[in-house]
Amino acid sequence: MASMAERPDLKVDLGRGLHLRSPVIVASGTFGYGFDAPQVDRAALGAIVSKGTTLRPHEGNAPIRIAETPSGMLNAIGLQNPGVDHVAHVYAPQWATWDLPVIVNVAGDSVDEYVAVARRLNGVPGVAGLELNISCPNVQSGLQFGVDPVLAAEVTHAVRAVTELPLIVKLTPNVTDIVAVARAVEDAGADAVSAINTYVGMAIDVRRRRPIISRGSGGLSGAAIKPLALHAVWQLAAEVHIPVVGVGGIMTPGDALEFLLAGATAVQLGTVNYVRPQAAAEIHDGIAAYMVQHGLTDMRALPIRSVSVLTHV
Amino acid sequence: MSIAVAPAVVLERSVPMAGAVELVLSHPPSAVAVGPGQFFQLAVSAPHTILRRPYSAAWSDPAGGRIGFIFNVVGTGSAWLAARDEGDELDLLGPLGRGFDLEGQRPAICVAGGLGVAVFPGVVQALIARGRNVIVLQGARTAAQLLPASRFPGADVHVATDDGSAGHRGSVVDLFSNLGEGQSGGIDILTCGPTPMLTALIDVAHRQAIPLSDIQVALETPMGCGIGTCLGCAAPRAAGGYFLTCQDGPCVRADRIEWELMTDGFHG
């Protein structure tokens, strides 16, 4: 019979009753609405975060939408989604039959739109939580909420007022002080933050003399951004009192462990889902093996906050 | 049909035509039914790359345990693949997408431009096996860049080269235009090639009153996941909005495509 040390408990708590069986979550925009990617082992996952969902359907941006860059990829999908009514009517009833929580990523270009989407999803069976996308760099007005602590707090507070669901706010890294935005959304009622969304970047086709992405810029994801994301999580975990979900360039079990040691309560996998559908299971098992190896029985024992580092150079 | 990540061993590596590489791999056991025109996502381990590379199977022989891919070197990912040798292991995800619809008994014309020919050995073989009459029209810059006609047994092969070193001097679309006169209706057209070639073909179809629904196009777009989650491979849909090349294609009927938008922003 396996001892506790051999079967570590990977459960995590993101607040307001959102208990996950695993700290491994698939990130918004990399797993659709959970109906594709049959190659991914669902048993390894703690939750799915849906594609960004808006009040009305969006067709998305004109091609070209993606480009590979060194150890990363740019995307400017443009929030292509079927709209919240379709999600609530068609997808959520199916999610309600799953043993895997689905968190709906909510996007909008006004406080009213965020509120309308959140209101529509409140109390809908199958919807386990909301992740507020205040950082999508692809729709012009989307950026504004996430870069300003006051606006970020305003939209968080407004959504908080109309939903009882666990509320995660996904932070943009395209700011001077991500901690200030995180504190503001914590005070406004967020149950957790996820950090980080993509960095704005671009690539130019020198032969055709124009940006590769049709919109010019896109969001950079993948291994290229991992050290940047990790630093954001390290800062946030020390400064906010709500769970931090680490996301950005996680490709391997070792990457995920870095985020968990830095203070993340859970991690989200994004770009790696496109490349290695088996990564979720490998990362889940790698975390479990690490726990065993280090004699840890609880995920809360992982962060290394007590380690002293030079914070100013 | 099962889509899975599966290892495959390189059995043979050859140069089927100038500038191209053909890798023959052990057939993934999960992919017993590869439809002509379907594709796989091949993992690459070249430094600083991240995404898989989408390639249509050139041909598939599940009974013989072999599958072939023909491609040219356009960047670091394809260069890494081209450097694989016998015995090396590759990681395949697939088969993915929708292949060509080969139903029916009408004569079929396969129109291939450049590396677009890579999808056709298996397509032609499947058409011939169904007892259909098949014409292959292949265009390339020079004679050396043509896939040999011996790769299309049973088909009537015509070629065009930009420099006139083989066959018609000019475009493969010229060949099609000459052949198509008087044949409007009653043929199935299957095509793959650079966007300018495809749009020229569509223009000819309009002039000759060939219904676009008789034309099937194997599309190439930039692609992320290949399985419908990243939404990166959008292509303009005639009815408005976009379809996904990886799920709704790569083989789609030409009347479903908004050709005006295909001329701008797509890789040729």
Task: Give residue B262's pLDDT band: very low, low, confident or very high (50, 70, 90).
Answer: confident
Mutual orientation of helices A226-239 and A253-261 as an angle, nearest 10°? 30
Task: Enter the tokens of residue B255.
Answer: 């009347």
Q: Which of B146, B139, B119, B107 is nearest to B34 (CA)?
A: B119
Predicted local confidence at residue A3, as pLDDT: 45
Measured between CA atoms, how close is B103 to chain A, in angstroms? 28
Which of the four pLDDT bands, split at 50, 70 and 90, describes residue A181? very high
pLDDT for the residue A41:
87
How crowded is residue A238: how many other Cβ atoms within 10 Å of its Cβ? Answer: 14
Q: Which residues pair with B70 in a beta bridge?
A: B22
pLDDT greater at residue B188 or residue A138: B188
Domain ranges of chain A: 12-61+79-202+219-301
Query: Apex CA B255: angle with CA B249 and CA B259, to 5°?
Result: 85
Chain B residue with Cα closest to A274 = B225
pLDDT tens-place string over residues B14-55 = 999 999 999 999 998 766 789 999 999 999 999 999 999 999
pLDDT at position B3 is 66
CATH fit for domain A12-61+79-202+219-301, picks 1.20.272.10, 3.20.20.70, 3.40.640.10, 3.40.50.280: 3.20.20.70
Whether residue A142 has pLDDT greater than 90: no
Task: Give residue for tokens 């009653």.
Answer: B186
Asked if the model's pLDDT at residue B1 lies above 80, the reply is no
d(CA B109, CA B178): 13
pLDDT classification of A5: cutoffs 50, 70, 90: very low
Mean per-residue pLDDT, A62-91: 96
- Which candidate from A29, A37, A80 shows the least CB-CB separation from B227? A37
Number of helical (H) and strand (E) elements in chain B, helices listed first? 6, 16
CATH architecture of B4-96: Beta Barrel (2.40)
The answer to whether B3 contacts A39, with C-beta atoms less than 8 Å apart, is yes
Average pLDDT over every residue of B230-239: 95
Q: CB of A36 within 8 Å of any CB in chain B?
A: yes
Contacts of A72 in chain B (CB under 8 A): 50
pLDDT (0 to 100) of residue A140: 46
CATH topology for B108-262 is Rossmann fold (3.40.50)
Residue found under tokens 């004109």: A62
Residue A114 host element (H or E): helix A111-121
Mean pLDDT of A35-59: 92
Among A36, A48, A66, A80, pick the best mutation site for testing chain B contact (most B Cβ within 10 A).
Answer: A66
Position B29 scores a pLDDT of 76
Does B50 sit within 8 Å of A59, measured CB to CB?
A: no
How high is the pLDDT of residue B28? 83
Going from N- to C-terminal start, the domains of chain B cover 4-96, 108-262
| Residue among A43, A20, A5, A82 nearest A264 (CA) | A20
Q: Which residue of A30, A68, A205 is the best one to mutate when testing the B interface, meaning the one whose CB has the most B CBs within 10 A?
A: A68
Interface residue ranges in chain B relative to chain A, Cβ cutoff 8 Å: 3-5, 43, 48-52, 93, 221-236, 240-242, 261, 265-267
Check A26, A67, A102, A136 and give the catalytic one: A136
Query: What per-residue confidence (pLDDT) applies to B174?
Result: 96
> Which ipTM value was assigned to this complex?
0.91
Neighbours of A118 (CB within 10 A): 24
8 Å CB contact between B42 and B92: yes
**A281: annotated active-site residue:** no
Which of A73-87, A247-261, B9-23, B251-265 comes out lowest in average pLDDT?
B251-265
Confidence of residue A135 (pLDDT cuts 50, 70, 90): confident
Beta-carbon pairs below 8 A across chains A and B: 103
Cα separation values, A121 from A83, A104, A168, Å? 11, 9, 14
The predicted model gives A106-119 an average pLDDT of 94
Q: Which of A64, A67, A274 sits opposite B230 (nearest CB)?
A: A274
Q: Per-residue pLDDT tens for B99-147?
A: 999 999 999 999 999 999 999 999 999 999 999 999 999 999 999 999 9
pLDDT in tens, B66-80: 999 999 998 999 999
The answer to whether A119 and A164 have CB atoms below 8 angstroms apart is no
Contact criterion met (CB below 8 Å) for A65 and B222: yes
Mean of pLDDT over chain A: 92
User: Is the CB of residue B84 less than 8 Å from the CB of residue B23?
Assistant: yes
- Give Cβ neighbours of residue A71 (< 8 Å, ≥ 6 apart): A222, A223, A224, B48, B49, B50
